[in-house]
Structures are given as structure tokens and as C-alpha cells.
Amino acid sequence: MSTVPTQSPQTYPIDRIRADFPALQQQIRGKPLVYLDNAASAQKPNQVIDTLADFYRHDFSNIHRSVHTLGERATAKYEAARDTVRRFLNARQTEEIVFVRGTTEAINLVAQSFGGSQFKEGDEILISAMEHHSNIVPWQMVCQQTGARLRVVPINDHGELILEEYQRLLGSRTRLVSITHMSNALGTLNPVKEIIDLAHTREIPVLLDGAQAVPHLPVDVQALDCDFYAFSGHKLYGPTGIGVLYGKRELLEAMPPWQGGGEMIRTVTFEKTEYNELPYKFEAGTPAIAEAVGLGAAIDYVEAIGWDHIAAHEHALIEYATEMVHTIPGLGIIGTAAEKGAILSFALDRVHPHDIGTFLDHYGIAVRAGHHCAMPVMDFFKVPATARASFGIYNTLEEVDQLIHAIKEIIKVFG
């Protein structure tokens, strides 16, 4: 389990937090909703929903284009959200914060712009065996375009990265390391500081896929010294369609734009285009304006609860859930890393994960069943799929009890 400060769950304002989330107040199939699919996407608090609605009601306009009052107001709110993200990641400058659609787009941007302009035949990109498809396929695509090669750091039976292998694979041909901060399929928290420091001894830049990490722990890109960091707003209790690529300024400056269009230019003639400055060089077209403002509200919301509180609460949930599932015969946990976030992937003897998911839905319990867009992880553990309960700030120990009860019912029904 992750080593976070322990704190009595009683001091956590769970009732107030749950009251902020309208979606949690509903019944599913006659039962109160137990939402345990937070790793796929989290529900939204009123503070985010109201920010979006208010923005559309009063402030909406396109940005960076118009001198009228709404144009200036919308631009100010969008740029204020960028500064909120900068503070959230402790980035040095807002120029280092690029708004994108989500983690997937952020990684594709780096693959196409950084990789497409720098990788050559024989170069190597290092990823790990626990990556989401979003941190595999973009690299395969750029490898095809450039002749570079993908190398994969193996994992052990607990779902932990094998650091000695990582060190062995880091070599003179390695041009970039791209690793997940927290695995979506296993819950593993990777030793990212060590990974970065080892790569930097060879001056190799590191991208961290932070999609699963940012909702659970504070991220400080300066302390980590990562070169790129990618995350999505929707897993952080924010809107869909908005995410962030953090990049060190000197790297982003040197990278060519990856999409052309409005906003990313300074001057255009038919002969020549001069590109805009950072971060606009990477934000072609009208961006997700309201969603960026909503992401700012989501960040304010989680920060107001406080990371120590969130970490202690989620730690209590995953510890308790893990302890309870150990009492269920025929249940296997996929992903037993010593350092783990609030994700519980499991399989039952004789019951397909999709049947688990469907059955749990009859109890009002939402989990994800499938390969979690991490098919190589399923291959490694020799399972077609898993059922995955993933916890968030609003889940309770009682909900864990409901999950455990329902799993026991499944076993009774399926024998």
C-alpha cells in the first residue's frame, strides 16, 4: 500500500463532499448509486457544474480575438485557469502549460512534435509494460514514421516496474522515457523521481502520464524535474474535453507546432507563416474555453479539501477494500504493488469480469470491466479482462461493504 499519512476517516468531511455531487444522489435499479469507476472518469461537484453554467450564461465568447467586453472577460477566465494549473503543478511559467483535449492528446502532441522532429532510425523510446494504450500507440506511430524503436521495461508479478531492467534498457540510443505515474489497470505508483533522475544522468528527457495520479496526490513538476507531464481534467472531477500538457519551456520552444490553424500563428502570408509564442503555438483553433475554466474550478475544489485529507481517506478505502476481498475465496487481485493508489483490479474464478460488472450494476454499483485500454497488462497476467473498482474523494467504507456483499452474492449465483 502507498505510504501516506494515516488519519481517522471520521475527521474527513465526507457528508459535505458527497452533498456537492448531484450525480451521487440518484438511485440505480432501485439502489443508491455506488460509483466506483473513478479511474475511467469522476463525477462532477456543483462547484464545477455551476462554474460551467455561469460561464456560458454570462461570460462566454471566443478568446484572444475580440476587444469587446465578453471577449476580454472570457480570455481573462481562460488564462486564469491556466495559471491555476500552473500553480497546481508548481510549474515555473504559464507558458509551460498547454491546454489540450486530454492525456491522449498531450502524449500524441509530444510524440508528433518532439518525436517527429527529433527521432531517427535506430533511436529508442522507453516505455513500460504497464502503460495505457495512450502511452503506447502514439510512440508506435512515430516509430513507424521515423524508424525509431520502442523498448519496454518489464514488470514483476506484483505489477511493479523492474528498476534494474529499466537501468539496463536506458542507453545511448534512448531519446525519451515515457512512463505512467500511476497505472490505471493495476494501481501501481511508480518511483517516478528515481526514474527521472536515472534518465537525467544520461540527459534523456522523461514524460510522465499523470492521468491517474493527479486526482490522488499532489504533483510538483519542479521537484520531480520531469520534462513533460500529461493529465486529463475529467478524472480530476473536472469537465471532459480538457487536459494539460506541461513541458519545460526550453523543450517546448524547440518543438515545432503539431497542428496548424488559427491562434497558433503570429503572421500568415501564402509564402510564409510565423508561429505564435508559447503556449499558443500548440493551441490551434478555438480551444475548450468553458472546460478550461471548469478545470480551474475542479482544481480549486480538490485543493480546498486538501491533499493530506484526500490521501488519508483514499488510503483507508483501498486498505479496507483489499483486506475485505482477501476474505473472498476464488478472488484474485491483479496488481499488488507495495506502492499503490486507490484502484482494485480483480478477477473471480469461473465468472467473466463482464458478468461481474453487469451483476454489480444490479446492485447500483458501477465498476469498469474490461482490459482498461491496457491489453499488454492483461496479457502479462494471462487474464482476458479484470473488474476494477476505483475510488475517489466521495467514496465511503460502507460502499466498500456493499461491494464486498455484492461480490459474495455473485459467487453464490455463479457457484
Active site residues: 373
Contact residues for 68 (Cβ-Cβ < 8 A; gap 6+): 61
| Beta carbon of residue 367, minimum distance to ligand C6P (angstroms, whole number) | 11
**CB of 215 or CB of 364, closer to ligand C6P:** 215
Residues 225-254 that bind ligand C6P (CB under 6 A): 232
Q: How far is residue 223 CA from its own chain's centroid?
A: 19
The DSSP 8-state label assigned to residue 133 in this structure reads: G
Binding to ligand C6P (CB under 6 A) within 201-230 occurs at 209, 211-212
Q: Smallest distance from the beta carbon of 211 to ligand C6P, in angstroms? A: 4
Closer by beta carbon to ligand C6P, 232 or else 336: 232
Q: Which of 88, 329, 67 is nearest to 221 (CA)?
A: 88
The whole-angstrom separation of Cα 208 and Cα 227 is 8
Instruction: Return the number of the residue (95 or 209) whose C-beta is nearest ligand C6P.
Output: 209
Which stretch in 28-36, 281-289, 330-338, 366-374 sits in contact with ligand C6P by CB under 6 A? Answer: 366-374
Nearer to ligand C6P, 189 or 312 (CB): 189
Binding mask 106-135 for ligand C6P (x = CB under 6 A): --------------------------x-xx
Q: Could you say whether residue 17 binds ligand C6P (CB under 6 A)?
A: no
> Is there a contact between 37 and 366 (Cβ–Cβ < 8 Å)?
yes
Nearer to ligand C6P, 12 or 282 (CB): 282
34, 39, 170, 177: which one contacts ligand C6P (CB under 6 A)? 39
Name the residue nearer to ligand C6P (CB basis): 132 or 248.
132
Length of the chain: 415
Please say whether the beta carbons of 105 and 93 come within 8 A. Answer: no
Taking CB under 6 A as the criterion, the residue among 365, 368, 395, 399 binding ligand C6P is 368
The torsion angles phi and psi of 366, rounded to 5 degrees, stand at: -100, 115
Is the Cα dihedral 214, 169, 196, 246 positive or negative?
negative
Cα of 240 vs its chain's centroid, Å: 12
Burial class (CB in 10 A: 0-12, 13-18, 19+), 302: buried
Binding mask 133-152 for ligand C6P (x = CB under 6 A): -xx-----------------
| Residues within window 47-106 making contact with ligand C6P, judged by CB under 6 A | 102-104
CA separation for the pair 152, 401 (Å, rounded): 38
Burial string for 171-188 (b: 16+ CB within 10 Å, else e) reads eeebbbbbbbbbbbbbbb
Number of residues that bind ligand C6P (CB under 6 A): 17
CB closest to ligand C6P, residue no: 184
Cα distance between residue 283 and residue 287, in whole Å: 7
Q: How far is the CB of 40 from ligand C6P (least distance, A)?
A: 3
CB nearer ligand C6P, residue 40 or residue 265: 40
Note if the bond before 384 is cis, omega within 30 degrees: no
At position 17, the amino acid (one-letter code) is I
* Residue 291 binds ligand C6P (CB under 6 A): no
Which grid cell sits at 4?
501516506
Tell me how far, at minimum, the Cβ of 54 lies from ligand C6P, in Å.
25
The CB-of-196 to ligand C6P minimum distance in angstroms stands at 17
Buried b / exposed e along 27-58 (16+ C-beta atoms within 10 A): eeeeebbbbbbbbbbbbbbebbbebbeebeee
Residues that bind ligand C6P (CB under 6 A): 39-40, 102-104, 132, 134-135, 180, 184, 209, 211-212, 232, 368, 372-373
